Amino acid sequence: MEAKGLFNVARKEFIDHLTSRKFIIILGLFLIVSSIAVYQGVGDYNRELTQYKEQISQTKEVPVSWMPQKPSILLVFQRMSWQITMLGGILAIAMGFDLITREKESRSLKSLLSHPVFRDEVINGKALGGILALVFAAGIAIVISLAMLLLFSIVPTMDEFTRIIIFGTVTVLFLITYFAVALMMSTVSRDSGSSLIYALIILFALSFFMPTFANVVETSVVGEPPEFPGMHYVHIRSVNADKNESEAIISPPVTPVSEEEMKRYEEESNAYWEKRRAIHDAISVVVPNENFQAVTQVVLNPHFERFQYGVQYGEPPDAGEEKSLSEALGIVWKNILALVIFPLVFFAVAYVKFMRMDIR
Amino acid sequence: MIKTENLTKEYNGNKAVDSLNLEIAEGDIFGFLGPNGAGKSTTILMLVGLIEPTEGKCFINDIEVARNPLRVKEIIGYLPENVGFYPNMTAEQNLDYFARFYAMMDARQRKKRIEELLELVQLDGVSQKVGGYSRGMMQRLGLAQALLNDPAVLFLDEPTANLDPEGVFQYRKLIKQLSDEGKTIFVSSHILSEVSKVCKTIGIISKGRLIARGTLEELKTELSSVGVENMRIIVETIEPMPEITHGDIINAEYDETMRKVVIEARSDIRDYISSGLLEKGIRIREMRMEEPTLEDVFISVYRR
């Protein structure tokens, strides 16, 4: 494969993206929302830092068995990751949905391919140009965030800085996933309108339908969670039938809870939630948003503890031991792998379709 | 220079081009004539390496197109039918993008060549983006992009479509100039008058098959014997004439004075008419047979 053609196409596509109105508008929106998220994150960080300092001063006066955790500036980027999930996906789709259909509609594809350039250089160049533009977009967002931190006199440590870079890399992988979806749709669709609609359907299906679907599958496979022993019953008693008023009466424990019963319940409950989590993980590994969130949660929270559906009995979710970066990445390697494989699959479909496309 | 061997292209079992054998010499201006859907554009697309033949081969300068499409694209220029460009770029930017694919052009050469070509197609000094171009301007820009690499072989698909009369005149002048430079030019069109004005040789394609090939005069002779069955004889006399009767006459239209008649006949019956009128003492002012025009011949051939 000649690199000259590839880089020529990539160069043109990169410039096209950066100068296109839709890219500038969505990127601008993306940066504004990210900056707001960072600003709010800095507020949260400063608040937690004040609390931390107060707790530290209290522990000097009254000895306690636990030490409070120092807040991390990574908190700032956790907020940002939520904005990226939705707006980033839209930005990536906006960049890719008409890459091929627009060429067909303007009939420039035939002109382009009549010059000495291989077809694979065209599709690969388009992909490369788009990826570079996404790297540029994510890079700007990260640089602005870091600049804002410095403006607030917050300097990240080396470990935090590395985690921010990894967050940026994962963000690019996430954006590339939806860019690849859009590029594929642009290759298989008849026109740009259809391509945009199909790409958005996939975005929304993966963002909203798949999590609901996962929940339904989990419940249908493992059923309801085991009942807590010695459960309290709640009776609803009508107190004024005319006005349709009623009151709730909570009964005392039906049966006394023995230690053995409690232990059995915990075992059953753990087994139940483990099974449920395994099903959830299996389904959500095909959802880019879930993979992105899984990785960013672990990378941006050194005290991350894998908890069950946000319910860690008796402990806050971030109360775990501090995890090194390699440990953190070890937890989410499947999600990272999925974020690499996903775009590759979509690119492969786009590539094959484009190579076989009838240019008439 | 251009050669095809049993070139065939099938779409869903239908042959768009059917065993096409063609040889076009260097320096020729070849007109590829045929009605819409005859297989002209499909043939060109195979010749320029944009689609692969289902069967057969084609060669440009002895290079097999399907095997070496890039080598072929280095030496050819192609103006597609309804040519398209990037609407967000200027003519210069569009041409520069395409020119970058050619190995032999550095930045300075590209700039010089683009300036020359834009001047040639009278688009120099036009700074607006291509999205705002008229169809005629697009066509002229298309011609410039086809000439970017100073090609040895030029393929033009419906080149005068969308051009105004001045544009058509300039185009014809340019084709003659390029031919004088020794370039081989392949012009595809369904407009006979256009092809007959610029082309040295002509090939006629119908339903994917080449049905005739030669110079304009050769074609006229070849096709008139098979293509047009009826002939028109116009007779003008000084005195009013009686009605002419003959077994080969299909139709005869006399004017009110009976001094002029247009006869449509199956054969040349001019001798029969002249001797008949002479016998009756009617002086003939004029008698001529209207030869079928090339247009009549082509229409007749296409309809067969």
ipTM of this predicted complex?
0.80
Burial grade of A227 (CB within 10 A; 0-12, 13-18, 19 or more): exposed
pLDDT digits (tens, 9 = 90+) for A336-357: 999 999 999 999 999 999 998 8
pLDDT at B188: 92
Q: Which DSSP symbol is given to B132?
A: G
What does the alpha-carbon distance between residue A119 and residue A113 come to, in Å, rounded to a whole number?
Answer: 7
* pLDDT bracket for residue A307 (50, 70, 90): very low
Residue A1, pLDDT score: 47
For the stretch A220-249, pLDDT in tens is: 888 887 777 766 666 666 666 555 666 666
Q: Which helix (H) or strand (E) holds A172?
A: helix A158-188
Contacts of B299 (CB under 8 A, 6+ apart): none
Q: Which residues pair with B233 in a beta bridge?
A: B263, B289
Flag whether A322 is in a domain.
no
Q: In terms of CA atoms, which chain B residue is nearest residue A102? A: B86
CATH class belonging to B229-303: alpha beta
**Beta-carbon neighbour count of residue B63 at 10 Å?**
16
Instruction: Count how many domains chain A has.
Output: 1
Tell whether A339 is covered by a domain. Answer: yes
Q: Is A268 inside any structural domain?
A: no
Domains B2-224 and B229-303 share a fold: no
d(C-alpha A313, C-alpha A266), whole Å: 11
Query: Which residue among B45, B84, B100 sits closest to A360, beta carbon to beta carbon?
Result: B45
Question: Looking at the domain assignment, is residue A306 inside a domain?
Answer: no
From chain A, the residues in CB contact with B78 under 8 A are 114
pLDDT at A220: 87
Res A120 pLDDT > 70: yes
CB burial string B139-158: b at 16+ within 10 A, e below? bbbbbbbbbbbbbbbbbbbb
Q: Is residue A270 part of a domain?
A: no
C-alpha–C-alpha distance, residues A322 and B215, integer Å? 88
Answer whether B97 touches A (CB < 8 Å).
yes
The one-letter amino acid code at A176 reads I
**What are the angstrom distances between the C-alpha of A103 and each of A111, A204, A356, B145, B146?**
10, 26, 16, 17, 18
Q: Does residue A266 belong to any structural domain of this protein? A: no
Please check the confidence at residue A59 and state whether its pLDDT lies above 80: no
Q: Is the pLDDT of residue A315 over 60?
A: no
Instruction: Calculate what percentage of chain B has a pLDDT beyond 70.
Output: 93
User: Has residue A253 been placed in a domain?
Assistant: no
pLDDT tens digit sequence for B197-233: 889 999 988 888 988 888 877 877 776 665 556 778 9
CA dist., res. A309 & res. A303, Å (int): 17
Distance from CA of B245 to the nearest CA of A (A): 55
| CA angle, residues B274, B277, B282, in degrees to nearest 5 | 125
Q: Do B101 and A110 touch (CB under 8 A)?
A: no
Where do the domains of chain B lie? 2-224, 229-303
Q: Are A175 and A138 in contact (CB under 8 A)?
A: yes
Domain that holds residue A96: 3-209+327-356
CA distance A143 to A81: 15
A58 or B285: whose pLDDT is higher? B285
Residue A237 lies in a domain: no
pLDDT tens-place string over residues B140-184: 999 999 999 999 999 999 998 888 888 888 899 999 999 999 999
Could you tell me whether strands B76-79 and B153-157 are parallel, antiparallel, or unpaired per DSSP bridges?
Answer: parallel
pLDDT tens, residue by residue, A161-198 = 899 999 999 999 999 999 999 999 999 999 999 999 99
Mutation for testing the B interface, residue in A110, A192, A357, A358 having most B CBs under 10 Å? A110
Q: Which of A329, A273, A274, A263 is nearest to A300 (CA)?
A: A329
When the candidates are 3.10.20.30, 3.40.50.300, 3.10.450.50, 3.10.50.40, the CATH number that belongs to B2-224 is: 3.40.50.300
Structure tokens at B141: 């820009």
- How does residue A308 score in pLDDT terms, banded at 50, 70 and 90? very low
